[in-house]
Amino acid sequence: MAVCSTHTFFRVFKEFSATIIDLFVRDLVTMTPEAIRIISQLRGEFYTLFSGQMGVPVNVTHEHSYVGKLSLASWVDTRKQLNYVCVYAYSAPDAFFPERPFILRISVNKGAGLLAAAKRGQAVRGQNLRWHFELTLMPDEILDFLPWVVHLVKAKDDNLNALLLEPPHPLDCYSTDIAAATSLMQDAWTCKAGQSEPLRALMQLS
């Protein structure tokens, strides 16, 4: 039986803390009503379509905590391990900065400890820590990426690093072979999202 080392513990805790901040700080009540409406609608549509295309039971969880509303879709893979996907605002206009770019993020298995609610009533052998992936994109791109994300999840479940589907929108990668690069990477941005994020855009120009 594998024993969790101190190093592994702190790595997992760091990932968990970073994910908690990402999930909730950018989704606080200062977000403009229109941004809240858009992300709620897109998140709901994404989870519904994702559940229909996965081919396995998917549990969508909505819970309130002292820092905000936790919303994610979870499923059990062929190894009986729990996986999840979460859609949230990476950046959004709010009451103080109404011109802030509206950028979303799809996070798969990123962080640890987020699935306490999702585990209820499910027979699992822990959370899938073998892989995680984040895709940062614009609101008008998220539903186009749904089949691509489903294909990625299924390929990872089958332990395949084969070429992925061609992304529906260009990805901001440093490899000319986008499909091969994204099969191995853990973080990707669409070109449109990268150009909309001021700091990232400046880094690319430097």
pLDDT at 176: 46
User: In the 3-class helix/strand/coil scheme, how is 48-82 assigned residue by residue?
Assistant: HHHHHHHCCCCEEEEEEECCEEEEEEEEECCCCCE
CA 164 to chain CA centroid, Å, is: 17
Q: Is residue 41 part of a domain?
A: yes
Q: What's the pTM?
A: 0.75
Residue with tokens 């499909």: 179
Distances (CA, A) of 164 to 41, 101, 153, 158, 194: 27, 29, 10, 13, 21
The DSSP call for residue 193 is: H
Query: How far is residue 204's CA from residue 39's CA, in Å, rounded to a whole number?
Result: 27
Q: Which residue has the tokens 């879709």?
A: 73
Residue 1 resides in a domain: no
**How far is Cα 142 from Cα 140, in angstroms, rounded to an integer?**
6
How many domains are contained in the chain? 1
Phi, psi values for residue 4, rounded to 5°: -75, 120
Domain hosting residue 142, numbered range? 6-205
- State residue 36's pLDDT score: 92
pLDDT in tens, the chain (206 residues): 344 444 433 444 444 444 444 444 445 447 899 999 999 999 999 999 999 999 999 999 876 544 346 689 999 998 888 999 999 999 999 888 889 999 999 999 986 555 554 555 555 567 788 888 999 999 999 999 999 999 999 988 877 665 678 899 998 754 445 555 555 578 899 999 999 876 655 445 44
The pLDDT value recorded for residue 163 is 60
